Amino acid sequence: MLALGKLLELTLADKEPAEKTQMTVKGVRLRWLDKGALEVRPPEATDNGLDLLLSAGIHGNETAPIELLDELLHGIARGEIIPRARILFLFGNPDAIRRGERYIEQDVNRLFNGRHELTSGSEALRANELERLATSFFSKPARKRLHYDLHTAIRGSKIEQFALYPYKEGRQHSRAELARLRAAGMEAVLLQSKASITFTAFTYETLDAEAFTLELGKARPFGQNQDIKLNRLEARLKQIIEGNEPEDDINNLDGLQLFSVAREIIKHSESFHLHLPADIENFSELSKGYLLAEDLAETRWIVEEEGARIIFPNPKVKNGLRAGILIVPTTPEQLA
């Protein structure tokens, strides 16, 4: 196998490869760009016009997605997977990956769309570098742009595999992309309703890619992800890479649960208190009238929505950041 196919090994060892460019026996070019960053380019004659960004390890302890991208890249480097798409593989936070920690000082996935300019440190610099790499990769005109940012969660979930679809004013969510997510094994999709500061929000809002954060189960150390079933996602990613997706499921949303954001719970001070068990799972239902959270100045969040559920509850975030999202069911007819 080509040495550049071992991007994860290079990243974990904090090494720069001696050869920056290599060619597979199928004429596919691998080019090392930076720490944890590798471009894959098919021969021009077989390029189908898709630019595909696959990222993982934005949080360093989310190892199942890292292992999945590592396996896909091995397949390409061995000539077993023949890309027709141009691909950028990114391991987002190499320092945290090496330590097996979610982040070192700051959550990188809260540092995009200008947020990194308001702070300092190595992770702010990394967020800026990830924006630069994505911007350069998606700079070619008249090409389709797709970004999957793969994660695992810090807590359990009643719906284990789901996607978050960013928002941009005036832009419609794509039914075809939702069907593709369903085919990749996603059980639910959260349709966001405001601008955000995540990596996929940046590529969706600023670079006009179709972009999705994929939550794939609970975070575990390397080598302990046997219970996370990524077969459908891996199969669909191979089809996207090789340009041979079946066309019969292009608009099929059967069984896919859709949710929209009702409200975000923002932590304003150290007096913030979230009235939820520490081990509550994502997508847990909350009854109307439930006192969800309290903060300074008698600020209170009370559940008013029918069918409300909570995802990503985390009272330990920094002040000014989201401590949870209250979501409600929606339908394909309400797509916007």
- Examine the domain organization and report whether 108 and 178 are in the same domain: yes
> Of the listed 160, 205, 215, 281, which one is catalytic?
215
Q: How confident is the model at residue 215 (pLDDT cuts 50, 70, 90)?
A: very high
- Examine the domain organization and report whether 238 and 271 are in the same domain: no
Whole-model pTM: value is 0.94
- Examine the domain organization and report whether 78 and 179 are in the same domain: yes
- pLDDT value for 249: 73
- pLDDT value for 187: 96
- Examine the domain organization and report whether 28 and 149 are in the same domain: yes
Q: How many domains does the chain have?
A: 2
- pLDDT value for 4: 95
Residue 28 counted as domain residue: yes
- pLDDT value for 217: 87
- Examine the domain organization and report whether 179 and 314 are in the same domain: no
Residue 51 counted as domain residue: yes
- Examine the domain organization and report whether 189 and 289 are in the same domain: no
Residues near 213 by Cβ (< 8 Å), separated by ≥ 6? 149, 151, 163, 164, 166, 198, 199, 200
| pLDDT tens figures, 33-91 | 999 999 999 999 999 999 999 999 999 999 999 999 999 999 999 999 999 999 999 99
Domain boundary among 242, 276, 291: 242
Range of the domain at 7: 3-242
- Examine the domain organization and report whether 231 and 193 are in the same domain: yes
Residue 238 counted as domain residue: yes
Using the CB atoms, write b or e for 59-81: b if 16+ within 10 Å.
Answer: bbbbbbbbbbbbebbbbbbeeeb
- pLDDT value for 335: 67
| pLDDT tens figures, 73-89 | 999 999 999 999 999 99
pLDDT higher for 1 or 280?
280
Q: What is the mean pLDDT of residues 198-227?
A: 91
CB 212 within 8 A of CB 148: yes
Residues in the chain: 336
Q: How confident is the model at residue 334 (pLDDT cuts 50, 70, 90)?
A: low
Residue 12 counted as domain residue: yes
- Examine the domain organization and report whether 220 and 314 are in the same domain: no
- Examine the domain organization and report whether 117 and 199 are in the same domain: yes
Residue 257 counted as domain residue: no
- pLDDT value for 131: 98
Residue 40 counted as domain residue: yes
Residue 72 counted as domain residue: yes
Does residue 336 have a pLDDT over 60? no
Does residue 127 have a pLDDT over 60? yes
CATH number, residue 324: 2.40.50.630
The chain-wide mean pLDDT, for the chain, equals: 94
- Examine the domain organization and report whether 231 and 315 are in the same domain: no
210 labelled catalytic: no
Q: How confident is the model at residue 24 (pLDDT cuts 50, 70, 90)?
A: very high
Residue 252 counted as domain residue: no
- Examine the domain organization and report whether 235 and 89 are in the same domain: yes
- Examine the domain organization and report whether 282 and 216 are in the same domain: no
CB 156 within 8 A of CB 281: yes
